Structure 1
């Protein structure tokens, strides 16, 4: 992609996700990017570790992972979907404070902090209502919801992630980063009309694009999402050397 240089991209998963959640995207971009799909404890390759329940702990965990994987002075991007977008904003802020900001933050499936605020506490729902919520969100295969053993494995992961988001929903409101933000949402998402809310959180350049699909449009729009990542990388590299 660039002579003698690959941009690192750190991928932050959605609620219930793992390091494997972005395999579909890595397969598309890994020849040109140095891809690192991160994950929180309690799933995937970290399934023997205890779940995290506090947002501050999740942010610290992600920052620690990125710092350990960084190639000094090499450009990099943070991309987060849904929960990963929320955490990605705070992770970017922390990396700025460590004098190692990303070239750009890409967020998807999320209208940004403070948009369409509700006090829903999904992590505390009983199993019947919790399954209804998961079905309405999409992204969780029906066989997981219908198989008792699979559900009992994935449910604690989902509940932990929802608790991270729901116990401290407004902590990012007022947070401002210098890193540019590019936001992407599906046109069937309920909060898609609020996508420009993200521009309140950066003093840098902001842009966005709406693609066809629901909250998990990322799976049906791999080519379009990859194109956005390439364009963001190109823009950020050009800006860096101006």
Structure 2
């Protein structure tokens, strides 16, 4: 049976962003997008103000759905969630087959840019444009973007104030990727993921910004990485 790939979104993101992945990596894994409170099917739930609360919530949902070997993937804020979940799930499910992350330096590296969560609305939207985190058409329509900003601020706060806890080192492989023009990740920071595992940690840089998922190089990386990891499992 193909392993499950549980996918964690970036700050303000939802499970809908992973919809195309089922087709792209169907040969290697069963994609299981993880929905966070405050969006998508969980729109009526307030986003937690503590990371531990969010991780516990998501771990409960993953445990209920897991049926064998699994992998974790997360982008940016989602990379931190995937890392924390690898530890939270270890007592019950064992470690993931691998931890895949993108758009975020290692957990031991502090957030490198201006914090977004407390910015005035106009400055927040300006920074989101620079990150390509929200479609321009959406940014220019207050009636559409404003309802999402509280959730985005809540996620950004958790990501920007994050500090690595006293976790033991993992023993699963780590695969880390970022765009070469990503303002939130860099090669040195990506290599810090190697501190989090006794297994191998491979880093890849592709020609992209902070949101690389739509780039052919990212899709190629994802397919190649899953092919190699699931062949070894």
User: Deviations along 1:15-72, whole A, 9 cap, x unmatched?
Assistant: 111110112322211354221100111101111111222111121122111101011x
- C-alpha distance in 1, partners of 2:204/2:113? 28
Deviation at 1:79, TM superposition (A): 0.8
- C-alpha distance in 2, partners of 1:41/1:110? 21
Q: Which residue of 2 aligns with 1:182?
A: 175
Query: Which shifted more, 192-201 or 204-213?
Result: 204-213
TM-score by length of 2: 0.90
8 A Cα contact 1:179 1:202, kept in partner: yes
1:200 is aligned, of 191, 195, 199, to: 195
RMSD of equivalent CA atoms? 1.9
Q: Which residue of 2 aligns with 1:9?
A: 5
Q: Which residue of 1 aligns with 2:18?
A: 22
Deviation at 1:176, TM superposition (A): 2.2
SS of the residue corresponding to residue 122 of structure 1 reads coil
**Residue 227 to residue 119, structure 1, CA distance change in 2 (3 Å):** closer
TM-score by length of 1: 0.87
- C-alpha distance in 2, partners of 1:187/1:217? 10
User: Deviations along 1:172-217, whole A, 9 cap, x unmatched?
Assistant: 4765222221111112223322211100111222212222211111
1:141 is aligned, of 118, 135, 138, to: 135
- C-alpha distance in 2, partners of 1:171/1:198? 12
- C-alpha distance in 2, partners of 1:234/1:210? 23
Structure 2 gap ranges (5+): none
- C-alpha distance in 2, partners of 1:8/1:229? 11
8 A Cα contact 2:38 2:47, kept in partner: yes
Deviation at 1:122, TM superposition (A): 1.4
Q: Which residue of 2 aligns with 1:165?
A: 159
Query: Which shifted more, 176-185 or 110-119?
Result: 110-119
SS of the residue corresponding to residue 59 of structure 2 reads helix
2:94 is aligned, of 85, 96, 100, to: 100
Deviation at 1:233, TM superposition (A): 2.2
Paired residues in the alignment total 229
**Residue 52 to residue 218, structure 1, CA distance change in 2 (3 Å):** same
Query: Which shifted more, 151-160 or 95-104?
Result: 95-104
8 A Cα contact 1:113 1:173, kept in partner: no
Query: Which shifted more, 136-145 or 219-228?
Result: 219-228
Structure 1 gap ranges (5+): 238-242
